[in-house]
């Protein structure tokens, strides 16, 4: 449904900000709000989950009691890469599934606040030149492409592995002056300053899913560090960082907040932010080592 909406976005009068009205005087909905409604509508009546959490909703989202409460929880970012929605650049949907902690009835916030290592499945859909679904249930990472002629996903890569050292680094370098000296040194190394050993090409789309997907296939490291304006970074732990960290780990890569593996962080809030460093294993280790050496222990 979301792929169809994204593909027809310019045609179906859904671009633009919430609050605008169209020629019929109806309020236009932003595509990320419509995607959120699509996700909630699709999963509230499956009987397989007991509670949901979404980037677009402040509180846990209940499921429809009439269809029963399942044993899983679902966290999602319905449409990631919001600055790219209106300009026809790749965007995506991210999801994370856990087993519930409470035994029965409606799921609660505590069912949603679980560390990434306890995920039973996670993945994303990227609406790029084709629509691709990437998921793991803890037995490798599998890549499916949506065949729009039959409305089905078809397996195109089974059990993929990401290169141990990547070609690309992906970071919003306009925040350079706000970073710690450690991250500045990392990026200078990626530009080939000092030693050529760490030189990489820069690629930054500004859609986490798309940047992550490219680096997963080609090798590379994505960084969204903490900075002086965003002391916890920008990205969200539960429905952005943790699911991608599970995919990265299953593909032989790594993810951390710079010091702690993302999958080990104990969440305290549904919309908690985390610095994120994710991708090829050796590149993540290089960034961690450089940041620890230059910045020292956290104060």
Decide if residue 81 touches ligand AHM (CB under 6 A): yes
**x/- track of binding to Mg ion for residues 62-101 (CB under 5 A):** ---------------x--x---------------------
CB of 55 to ligand AHM, least distance (A): 6
Give how far the C-alpha of residue 142 lies from the chain's centroid of Cα atoms, to the nearest Å.
Answer: 16
**Residue closest to 124 by CA, chosen among 162, 169, 57, 78:** 78
Q: How far apart are the C-alpha atoms of 155 and 142, rounded to whole Å? A: 7
Contact in structure between 39 and 93 (CB atoms under 8 Å): yes
Decide if residue 211 touches Mg ion (CB under 5 A): no
**Residue closest to 290 by CA, chosen among 259, 260, 263:** 259
The only residue of 62, 115, 206, 252 in contact with ligand AHM, by rule CB under 6 A: 206
CB of 206 to ligand AHM, least distance (A): 5
Strand residues in the chain grouped as ranges (E): 49-54, 61-62, 72-80, 91-99, 119-127, 131-136, 141-147, 152-157, 168-170, 201-202, 220-224, 254-256, 276-279
Stretch in the footprint of ligand AHM (CB under 6 A) among 194-202, 204-212, 262-270, 287-295: 204-212
Decide if residue 30 touches ligand AHM (CB under 6 A): no
Q: Which is nearer to ligand AHM, 50 or 244 (CB)?
A: 244
Decide if residue 128 touches ligand AHM (CB under 6 A): no
* In the block, residue with structure tokens 């080990």: 264
The only residue of 90, 207, 250, 256 in contact with ligand AHM, by rule CB under 6 A: 207
Q: Which is nearer to Mg ion, 162 or 207 (CB)?
A: 207
Stretch in the footprint of ligand AHM (CB under 6 A) among 64-72, 80-88, 185-193, 284-292: 80-88
Decide if residue 208 touches ligand AHM (CB under 6 A): yes
CA-to-CA dists, residue 284 to 65, 80, 242, 256, 272, angstroms: 43, 23, 15, 8, 22
Q: How far apart are the C-alpha atoms of 252 and 159, rounded to whole Å? A: 10
The conformation of residue 206, written as its DSSP 8-state character, comes to S
Decide if residue 232 touches ligand AHM (CB under 6 A): no
- Judged by beta carbon distances under 5 to 8 A according to partner kind, the member of Mg ion, ligand AHM, none in contact with residue 234 is ligand AHM
Decide if residue 234 touches ligand AHM (CB under 6 A): yes
The only residue of 46, 82, 145, 272 in contact with ligand AHM, by rule CB under 6 A: 82
Decide if residue 275 touches ligand AHM (CB under 6 A): no
Longest CA pairwise span in the chain (Å): 64
H or E stretch including 21? none
Decide if residue 172 touches ligand AHM (CB under 6 A): yes
Contact positions toward Mg ion, by CB under 5 A? 77, 80
Contact positions toward ligand AHM, by CB under 6 A? 55, 77, 80-83, 172, 206-208, 234
């Amino acid at each position: 449904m979301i792929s169809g909406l994204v593909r027809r976005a310019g045609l179906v009068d859904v671009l633009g900000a919430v609050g605008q009205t169209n020629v019929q005087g109806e309020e236009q909905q932003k595509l990320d709000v419509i995607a959120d409604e699509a996700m909630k509508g699709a999963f509230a009546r499956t009987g397989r989950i007991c509670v949901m959490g979404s980037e677009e909703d402040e509180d846990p989202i209940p499921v429809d009691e009439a269809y029963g409460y399942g044993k899983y929880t679902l966290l999602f970012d319905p449409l990631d890469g919001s600055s790219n929605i209106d300009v026809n650049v790749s965007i995506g949907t991210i999801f994370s599934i856990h087993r519930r902690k409470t035994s029965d009835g409606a799921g609660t916030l505590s069912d949603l606040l679980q560390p990434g290592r306890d995920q039973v499945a996670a993945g994303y859909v990227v609406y790029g030149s084709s629509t691709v679904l990437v998921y793991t249930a803890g037995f490798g990472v599998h890549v499916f492409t949506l065949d729009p002629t039959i409305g089905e996903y078809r397996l195109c890569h089974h059990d993929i592995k990401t290169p141990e050292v990547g070609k690309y680094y992906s970071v919003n370098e306009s925040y350079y002056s706000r970073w710690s000296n450690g991250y500045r040194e990392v990026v200078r190394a990626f530009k080939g300053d000092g030693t050529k050993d760490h030189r990489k090409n820069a690629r930054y789309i500004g859609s986490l899913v798309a940047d992550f997907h490219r680096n997963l296939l080609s090798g590379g490291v994505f960084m969204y560090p903490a900075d002086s304006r965003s002391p916890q970074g920008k990205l969200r732990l539960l429905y952005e960082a943790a699911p991608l960290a599970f995919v990265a780990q299953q593909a032989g890569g790594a993810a951390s907040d710079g010091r702690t593996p993302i999958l080990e962080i104990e969440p305290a809030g549904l919309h908690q932010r985390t610095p994120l460093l994710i991708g090829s294993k050796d590149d993540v280790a290089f960034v961690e080592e450089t940041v620890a050496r230059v910045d020292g222990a956290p104060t």
